[in-house]
Amino acid sequence: MRKADSNVRVAVTGVGIICSIGRNKDEVWRSIRESRAGIAKLTRFPGETFPTDMAAEVAGELQLPISRREAKRMSRTDLLAVIAANEAIDQANECSPLRLERAVVSTGTSTGGLLEGEDYYFRRVVRGRDRAPASRVLQQPTSGPSDAVARVFRVGGGVISNATACASAGAAIGMAVDFLRSRHADVAICGGSDALCRLTYSGFNVLQAVDPAPCAPFSAERKGITLGEGAAYLVVERWDDAVARGATILAEIAGYGASCDAHHPTAPHDEGRGAEAAMRVALDGGDVDYINAHGTGTLLNDSAETKAIVAAVGSATPVSSSKSYFGHTLGASGAVEAAITVMSLIHQLAPPTLRLDVAASDCTLDYIAHTPRPMAMNSALSNTFGFGGANVSLLFRRVV
Amino acid sequence: MSRIAISGIGIIAPDAIGLDAFRALLASGRTAGSPALVRDFKARDFINPMKMRRMNNLSRFGVAAAKLALADAGIDPGRNTGVALGTAFGPVQTSVEYMREYVEKGAALAPPQLFAESVANAPGSHIAIESDFRGFNVTITQRESSALAAAMYAAAQVVKGSVDAALIGGVEEASEMTLSVLERLGALSRTAARPFDAKRDGMSFGEGGAVLLLQPRAPKSYAFISGFGMARDTTASISDWGDDHGAIVTAMRAAIDDAEIALSDIDAIYASANGSVRGDAVEGRAIEELFGDRIPPVVATKGIFGEYAAGGALQLVAATLAVDEQSLHASAGFESGTFRFTPNREHHACKLRHVLVNSVSAGGGVVCAVLSKEAA
Residue A138 reports pLDDT greater than 60: no
CA distances from A29 to A91, A170, A344 (A): 16, 21, 9
Answer positive or negative: Cα dihedral of B344, B350, B356, B358. Answer: positive
Pairing label, strands B348-349, B81-86: unpaired
Instruction: State the SS3 of A39-53.
Output: CEECCCCCCCCCCCC
Short-list B38, B34, B286, CA closest to B182: B34
- Tally of domains in chain A: 2
Chain B, residues 51-90, CB within 8 A of chain A, namely 54, 79, 82-83, 87-90
Assigned domain for A41 exists:
yes
Chain B residues whose CB is inside 8 A of the A131 CB are none
Counted across chains A and B, CB pairs separated by less than 8 A come out at: 273
CA distances from B184 to A214, B178, B180, B189, B190 (A): 42, 10, 6, 11, 12
Chain B, residues 261-290, CB within 8 A of chain A, namely none
Same domain, A231 and A270: no
Same domain, A207 and A266: no
The region of weakest confidence among A113-127, A270-284, B230-244 is A113-127
Give the pLDDT score at B177: 87
Chain A, residues 87-146, CB within 8 A of chain B, namely 101, 104-105, 110, 112, 114, 117-118, 121-122, 125-126, 134, 137-144, 146
Would you call A259 and B99 a contact, using CB atoms and an 8 Å cutoff?
Answer: no
**Residue at a domain's end among A244, A275, A291:** A244
CB contact A7 to B (< 8 Å): no
Same domain, A17 and A133: yes
Give the pLDDT score at B156: 97
Assigned domain for A194 exists:
yes
Give the pLDDT score at A29: 98
Give the pLDDT score at B142: 96
Residue A127 reports pLDDT greater than 80: no
Short-list B91, B358, B346, CA closest to B230: B358
Residue A139 reports pLDDT greater than 70: no
Give the pLDDT score at A182: 97
**Residue at a domain's end among A221, A244, A267:** A244
Q: What percent of chain B has pLDDT over 90?
A: 95
The residues, ordered by sequence, that sit 6+ positions from B371 with a Cβ below 8 Å of its Cβ are: B6, B223, B224, B225, B226, B319, B320, B323, B354, B355, B357
* Residues A109, A331 contacting (CB under 8 angstroms): yes
Same domain, A214 and A262: no
Could you report the per-residue pLDDT of A206-240, keeping only the tens digit for each? 999 999 999 999 999 999 999 999 999 999 999 99
**Least CB-CB distance to B134: which of A137, A171, A259?**
A259
Give the pLDDT score at A135: 57
Short-list B62, B56, B167, B170, CA closest to B119: B56
pLDDT band at residue A50 under the 50/70/90 scheme = very high
Assigned domain for A220 exists:
yes
> How much is the mean pLDDT over chain A?
95
Residue to substitute from A124, A136, A151, A159, interface B, most B β-carbons within 10 A: A159
Other C-beta atoms closer than 10 Å to the C-beta of B183 total 14
The region of weakest confidence among A239-243, A250-254, B107-111 is B107-111
Assigned domain for A95 exists:
yes
CA gap B162, A272 in Å, rounded: 20
Same domain, A276 and A137: no
Would you call A387 and B116 a contact, using CB atoms and an 8 Å cutoff?
Answer: yes
CA distances from B147 to A191, A331, B361 (A): 21, 20, 12
pLDDT band at residue A136 under the 50/70/90 scheme = low
- Dihedral (Cα; A352, A354, A356, A360), 10-degree rounding: -80
pLDDT band at residue A285 under the 50/70/90 scheme = very high
Would you call A150 and B364 a contact, using CB atoms and an 8 Å cutoff?
Answer: yes
Instruction: State the SS3 of chain B.
Output: CCCEEEEEEEEEECCEECHHHHHHHHHHCCCCCCCECCCCCCHHHCCCHHHHCCCCHHHHHHHHHHHHHHHHHCCCCCCCEEEEEECCCCCHHHHHHHHHHHHHHCCCCCCHHHHHCCCCCHHHHHHHHHHCCCCCEEEECCHHHHHHHHHHHHHHHHHHCCCCEEEEEEEECCCHHHHHHHHHCCCECCCCCCCCCCCCCCECEECEEEEEEEECCCCCCCEEEEEEEEEECCCCCCCCCCCCCHHHHHHHHHHHHHCCCCHHHEEEEECCCCCCHHHHHHHHHHHHHHHCCCCCCEECCHHHHCECHHHHHHHHHHHHHHHHHCEECCCCCCCCCCCCCCCCCCCEECCCCEEEEEEECCCCEEEEEEEECCCC
CA gap A396, A12 in Å, rounded: 9
Tell whether omega for the bond before B35 is within 30 degrees of 0, i.e. cis. Answer: yes
The mean per-residue pLDDT over the stretch A122-128 comes to 75
The region of weakest confidence among A1-10, A86-95, A118-127, A259-268 is A118-127
Residue B318 reports pLDDT greater than 80: yes
With 0-12 CB in 10 A as exposed, 13-18 as middle and 19+ as buried, what is B371?
buried
Distance (Å) from the alpha carbon of A246 to chain B's nearest alpha carbon:
26
Q: Quick one: how far is CA A169 from the chain centroid? A: 6
Beta strand extents in chain A (DSSP E only):
10-19, 40-41, 54-55, 103-108, 158-162, 187-194, 230-238, 251-260, 290-292, 318-320, 349-350, 366-367, 373-374, 379-386, 390-397
CA distances from A199 to A3, A45, A74, B92, B198 (A): 40, 11, 19, 12, 43
Same domain, A295 and A388: yes
The residues, ordered by sequence, that sit 6+ positions from A42 with a Cβ below 8 Å of its Cβ are: A50, A53, A54, A55, A57, A196, A201
Which residues of A are annotated as catalytic?
Answer: 166, 294, 328
Query: At A125, is the secondary structure helix, strand, or coil?
Result: helix
CB contact A79 to B (< 8 Å): no
Domain of residue A391, residue span: 254-397
- A320 - beta bridge partners? A292
| CATH code: domain of residue A297 | 3.40.47.10
Is this complex's ipTM strictly greater than 0.95?
Answer: yes
Same domain, A238 and A299: no
Give the domains, in start order, of chain B with CATH numbers.
4-372 (3.40.47.10)
CA gap B54, A169 in Å, rounded: 26
First to last CA, chain B: 8
Other C-beta atoms closer than 10 Å to the C-beta of A46 total 6
**Least CB-CB distance to B141: which of A51, A121, A163?**
A163
Same domain, A232 and A271: no
Would you call B230 and A157 a contact, using CB atoms and an 8 Å cutoff?
Answer: yes
Assigned domain for A249 exists:
no
Up-side HSE of residue A195: CA atoms within 13 Å toward CB? 28
Assigned domain for A307 exists:
yes
CA gap B154, B136 in Å, rounded: 9
CB contact B151 to A (< 8 Å): no
CA gap A341, A343 in Å, rounded: 5
Residue to substitute from B4, B87, B121, interface A, most A β-carbons within 10 A: B121
Assigned domain for A185 exists:
yes
Give the pLDDT score at B220: 94
Residue B138 reports pLDDT greater than 80: yes
Same domain, A219 and A299: no
Q: Which residues of B211-246 are buried (b: 16+ CB within 10 A; e: fewer)?
A: bbbbbbebeebbbbbbbbbbbbbbbbebbbbbebbb
**Residue at a domain's end among A244, A262, A295:** A244
pTM of the model: 0.97
**Least CB-CB distance to A134: which of B4, B143, B184?**
B184
Residue B118 reports pLDDT greater than 90: yes
The mean per-residue pLDDT over the stretch A256-260 comes to 98
**Least CB-CB distance to B136: which of A140, A158, A259?**
A259
CA gap B38, A89 in Å, rounded: 44
Same domain, A190 and A218: yes
CB contact A73 to B (< 8 Å): yes
pLDDT band at residue B187 under the 50/70/90 scheme = very high
Same domain, A89 and A228: yes
Could you report the per-residue pLDDT of B20-48, keeping only the tens digit for each? 999 999 999 999 888 999 999 999 999 99
Assigned domain for A3 exists:
no
Same domain, A125 and A260: no
Other C-beta atoms closer than 10 Å to the C-beta of B199 total 10
Residue B290 reports pLDDT greater than 60: yes
CB contact A76 to B (< 8 Å): no
* Residues A10, A181 contacting (CB under 8 angstroms): yes
Would you call B107 and A388 a contact, using CB atoms and an 8 Å cutoff?
Answer: no
Q: Which residue of B has its CA nearest to A142?
A: B141
Would you call B138 and A117 a contact, using CB atoms and an 8 Å cutoff?
Answer: no
